[in-house]
Amino acid sequence: MPFQLTEEQEMFRKSLRSFLEEKVAPRAAEIDEKDEFPRDVYKTLSEIGIQAIFFPEEYGGSGGDLLTCCLATEEISRVSGTMAVLVGPPLSLASAAFRLAGSHEQKAKYLPKLASGEWIYAIAITEPDAGSDVSAIKTTAVLEGDYYILNGTKRFHSIGDQADVTTVYAKTDPGKGASGLSTFVVEKGAPGRIISKKEKMMGIKGIASCEVVFEDCRIPRENLLGKEGGGFKDVMHTLDESRPIVAAMGVGLAQGALDYAVGYAKQRIQFGKPICEFQGIQFMLADMATHIEAARYLVYRAATIALNRNRESMMLASMAKYFSSDMAMKVTTDAVQILGGYGYTQEYPVERMMRDAKCFQIFEGTNQIQRVVVARSLLS
């Protein structure tokens, strides 16, 4: 199927790349080294309206389609995996979660501040015994009068320490398994919400991956997002929309690694000539570029049909996610190899890119789970 970006999308990509090269790329190594939340860089992105493209115009956004959101995430990831993780998945998840299940009042309350960048969003799904198996969630929500009382523990809660708004998935009827799962909006400072631990992660530095404990956490009844028991269906649809975004991050990260490896290969002299003149290096670069382009096409295709919410769109979202992130891991590893000993040092960016790429194979559903989704779609 032929595919081509519109002139407007090409202009958007070009202008955003120029901005990111000037404002974000110079900070990428520092963000990784200090491992501190880059609030000033996030604010810089909000000033040009990056967050707004993920949200409908009626709620303060600029109404970008999913493909445009993927383009933005790809370009951010090209210069900083951390900033891509901070912007892309959370905002696509927020937009989808509220659009699919939120009331008008909930959308009006939360979306404008998320679209402006004033508020930061996070999602709390994973638990110590419930990772890929979302139906195994044990966190409970019991209705008492005008409040739901949440109890349980969430793990790998990205940006949990900074989030102003979090959607939390909990069982309102534990006896019903996945059908007993519901979604709640939990605001920063909610009584009984405790950040108990911050993990030291291999990559994507600057974003804390937290353990959060809910101890009799009181949530107003109106903070139920959607209907009781609708949480599992809603989160699955939400993730189907977010996975092309994660896939775009893999494409961008790999493109950044390839760009650096090409520049290095042109300048590095060995045996009296640039190493780019050696066929072994040329073949590596050719394969890297080909795999990136194949992944990019798959991502764009998945993005254009994601909102169909049918078997094909679900399958393509999973294909794009696992193919792109596996590709990013391979391309960044090859970039390190092309730089040789220098590639293994922190003086050059490709080792950071390789560490960041590993995360993409795991979060938003492991690549093994994505293959299960694809296989089931084929066999159903």
CA-closest candidate to residue 103, choices 215, 227, 7: 227
Instruction: Report the SS3 class of residue 354.
Output: helix
Cβ neighbours for 183, distance < 8 A, ≥ 6 positions apart: 97, 101, 167, 168, 169, 224, 225, 226, 230, 231, 234, 235
Question: Half-sphere exposure of residue 359, counting CA atoms within 13 Å on the CB side?
Answer: 23
Rounded Cα distance, 263 and 261, in Å:
5
127 in active site? no
Q: Can you tell me the distance from the alpha carbon of 122 to that of 106, in angstroms, rounded to the nearest whole number?
A: 16
Secondary structure class of 102 (helix, strand, coil): coil
Strands (E) located in the chain: 121-124, 140-144, 147-158, 165-171, 181-187, 193-199, 209-220, 224-225, 269-270, 273-274
Which residue is it, tokens 């007993």?
A: 180
Phi, psi of 278 (to 5 degrees): -85, 135
Residue 37, amino acid: F
Could you say which of 75, 241, 351, 364 is catalytic?
A: 364
Query: How distant is the alpha carbon of residue 94 from its chain centre?
Result: 11
Q: Taking CA 302 as the corner, what is the angle to CA 297 and CA 306, rounded to the nearest 5 degrees?
A: 160
Catalytic residue numbers read: 364
